[in-house]
Structure 1
Amino acid sequence: MGRSFANLHIKSSNLEKTVEALRALSEGVPEVLGKSSKQESEDTKSIDSPNNSQENNKAMYISRSNEHWISVLHDYFVWGSVKKVGKVLSTLIEEPVMTAGFINEEIFELTIFEGGDLLAERIFCHPLTRDEYGLQEARLQDDYLQETLNIRNEDFEGLLRTTYSAEAVDQLSELTNLPIWSDWEWVPYEEDLRERFSKYEF
């Protein structure tokens, strides 16, 4: 099996507002992050271990990636689940929320949500992989995707022609200056990520 990762990005320059939205997500809809709800935690408090509250309070890593985007890593982000998080988070913040999921060096999936709605999706993979897994974009809106990412026409056309997932990640990382190659599990081992991301616990 090859590399896999998942991450999330909010198109915002307001770090404080974004952190508050992430706090609201963690505290108000904890199950979307794989955590117990407040009621479940209270119901099981008497039988929980002393460290349960810490285990249920997994950290997020947050980075002001550039002047337009804020990036987020979390233990529960994997290909598939990160889309659910992005969808819910987009109801708690006014700005677009982009999710990126990469699995086994085969598939790279990019989605953008606003107000709880999926507004754009792109899947980058080899045609044979697409056929094998029956992959199909739920909503193709390339004009919106290009506008949101602020990518020039010729560069965006080159990105769309890419059928290799890793190459698409490389191109998108360069075009947006976002840490697309990043994952919660990698932070302790990669100095660049440790310097770029700050740890938050909600």
Structure 2
Amino acid sequence: MGTKFGNMHVITSDKQAVLTALKEVNAERSGSTGGSTKGLTGFEAILAEAERLRNVYYIVELKPGWISILNDSFEWGTVELIGERLSEFINEPVLTVSYFDDDVAEINLYRNGSLLTGHMWSNGTYELDKKEADTSVLSRHLGHHYLSKLNEILHMDDCEEAITALEELLQVPLWIHSEWLQDMEKEEEEWVQHYERHDFN
């Protein structure tokens, strides 16, 4: 099995607005308050703990004007749905990034509940429809000075190479999942310590 992750980024410095919007989205998708796992055993306890962790988010602003969000349930196919919904609650662009088994990488940019543009890199393992981003839309929201480099990245064939290059360009953590934070902290990745844990249970 290869690497899997998903993460989300709101292009704003208003952390309180992001948290307020995230609480709204979380309340919709949770369907419960999380509850206690006390007294549960076996499979029931595992399911309850997984549900509880769905309501825990890690948030950081490592780059001014970019608020990054992690959650244990973020992966290819789910982070896109949550990012789209979040963009309905906050009047700022939301970028989602997902990666699946070194076979597929995808970025999507949302605003006001609509997809502005998106791009998918694939090695051909899965029969997926081609998805190419509009670089003018991407550069308008990510930065016009990135246009040339964005074009270069979008034309890369390798999923890992593309996401790594995009991470270096934007200077925002993209190659990351919430489940990796503890291990990264042990490896003395100092920037990881800036993530704030927000529990909406």
TM-score by length of 2: 0.83
Distance 1:119 1:198 in 2: 29
Distance 1:36 1:158, change over 3 A: same
Identity %: 26
Counterpart check, 1:5 vs 2:5 = yes
Counterpart check, 1:184 vs 2:178 = yes
Counterpart check, 1:101 vs 2:105 = no
Distance 2:83 2:110 in 1: 7
The letter for the 1-side match of 2:59 is: I
Structure 1 unmatched runs, 5+: none
Give 1:133 deviation, angstroms: 1.8
After superposition, the C-alpha distances for 1:119-146 in whole angstroms (9 at most, x for unaligned) are 11001233x34xx422322x74221112
Q: Which residue of 2 aligns with 1:160?
A: 154
- Listed as ranges, the matches of 1:67-106 within 5 Å are 67-106=64-103
Distance 1:146 1:51, change over 3 A: farther
Q: Aligned residue pairs: how many?
A: 185
Counterpart check, 1:141 vs 2:134 = yes
- Listed as ranges, the matches of 1:18-29 within 5 Å are 18-27=18-27, 29=28
TM-score by length of 1: 0.83
Secondary structure of 2:75's aligned partner: coil
- Structure 1 segments (4+ residues) deviating >3 Å: 48-52, 54-57
Q: Which residue of 1 aligns with 2:121?
A: 124
Q: Which residue of 1 aligns with 2:198?
A: 200
CA RMSD of aligned residues (A): 2.2
Distance 1:133 1:199 in 2: 38
Give 1:152 deviation, angstroms: 2.4
